[in-house]
Every structure is written in C-alpha cells, then in structure tokens.
Amino acid sequence: MAGSQSEPKQERAWRTRAHILQMAAELFAERGYATVTLQDVAERASMTKGAVYFHYKNKEALAVAVVHEHYVRWPLLLENVAARELPPYETLVTVLDRVAEAFRDDIVVQAGARLQIERSLIDADLPEPYVGWEDYLTGFVKEIEKAGDLRPGITPRGAARVIVAAFFGMQHISDVLSRRADLAERYGELRDVVLAGLRA
Ligand code: LUB
C-alpha cells in the first residue's frame, strides 16, 4: 500500500488501517473466523505481517474492528431512509430493502454477520447481536400501529423480533446454500409474507 509522500502521516495510517480491515472482512466472510490467520490477511492486503500487527495487535482485535465497522453502517442507513419521510409502513419496507442490499453487496456486513454467528470462537468482547435491530424495528412498527395500519393482535416488539429472526435466518440460509445469489428472491418472499402480513 504505497501512500503519496505528501499525504499526512495519520491519513496514510488511516487508509492503511481501512485497507487491512476490508481485506480481513473479505477473508472472514469467505472462510469464517477460525481458519483465517494474520498472515492470510497480510498476503491479501499485499503487506507484511509486521505492518498488519502495527495496526491490529491480534486476530481478535481485527474481528472486533470488523464487527464494529459493520454496525456503523446501520445508523447511516436508517438516517438516509428517515430523511425521505415516507409513510410508516413504507419506511419499514424501505429500511429492510436497504438492509437486504447491504447483505448482498457489502462484504463488511457479510463478515460482521458471520463473525457474530461464530462469536463463541472469538476471545473478545463483541456487542450483543440482533437486539439493536429489534429496538430499531420496534420503533418503526409502533409508527405503523399509531397510523392504525398494524394487524390487530400483533405487538410492535413481537413483530420486530419476528422480522429480525426471519431476515437474519433468511440471509444466512441464502449465504450457505447459494452464497447469497438468491438473496433478492428470498427477501422478496419475506416482504410478501412477513412484512405484508403485519398490515391491518
Ligand atoms: C444485523 C448483524 C447483521 C441484523 O443486529 C445484528 O446483530 C445484525 C450481526 O449480528 O445485521 C439485521 C437484521
């Protein structure tokens, strides 16, 4: 990773750190946590192992960084959708459309999701998974309820837990069976059954 000599030192360090993280995310998403070594990351990043160690002291630190980087995506995604000021149900569907795209296209999201599934193998403190999304989606379903558009007998929290479970399970099955080639099709089925099923 040659940086231009004029680039401030800390910017070059930041760019190198981001490059290592992206290469590690590719490897974690492809092979899982256990088999990836820092040597693998160094080779994928076209760097020496020492250069990787300078930024990440061990594999656990790299995994923690990838998981945290993937969680950073969500508030940005939610802000972008909220700015469109859509009706409540359309907001929920649009958020999940964007999440499905992220799972299809964003290797850091794919790696973060896989590392959280394999969290018991990682000797480090990782955020509790899924609960953040249950809270996000509960808020959106409460807005649907306020608009009188939620099917009677469904609670916002219950709906949010079902959506997160269905979505996360769906993306995992798509990954295992087709490397997410059928993710768009499977997400369409989730929209038609689970999301449409919420409406009064
Ligand atoms: C979200 C991941 C990947 C769930 O909430 C979480 O923990 C998440 C990793 O655990 O995406 C998105 C429904």
The string of pLDDT tens digits covering residues 144-172 is 999 999 999 999 999 999 999 999 999 99
Which of 142, 188, 136 is CA-nearest to residue 166?
188
Q: Strand pairing partners for 150?
A: 199
- Confirm whether pTM is higher than 0.85: yes
Whether ligand 1 lies within 6 angstroms of the CB of 130 is answered as yes
- CB neighbours of residue 17 within 10 Å: 15
For the chain, domains (ranges, CATH) are 2-198 (1.10.357.10)
Task: Tell me how far the alpha carbon of residue 94 lies from the centroid of ligand 1, in angstroms.
Answer: 17
The string of pLDDT tens digits covering residues 87-119 is 999 999 999 999 999 999 999 999 999 999 999
- Residues 177 and 64: their CA atoms lie apart, in Å, by 27
Flag whether pLDDT at 53 surpasses 70. yes
φ/ψ bin of 56: left (φ > 0), alpha (ψ from -120 to 50), beta (otherwise):
beta
Instruction: Kindly report the protein residue whose alpha carbon is nearest to atom 13 of ligand 1.
Output: 164
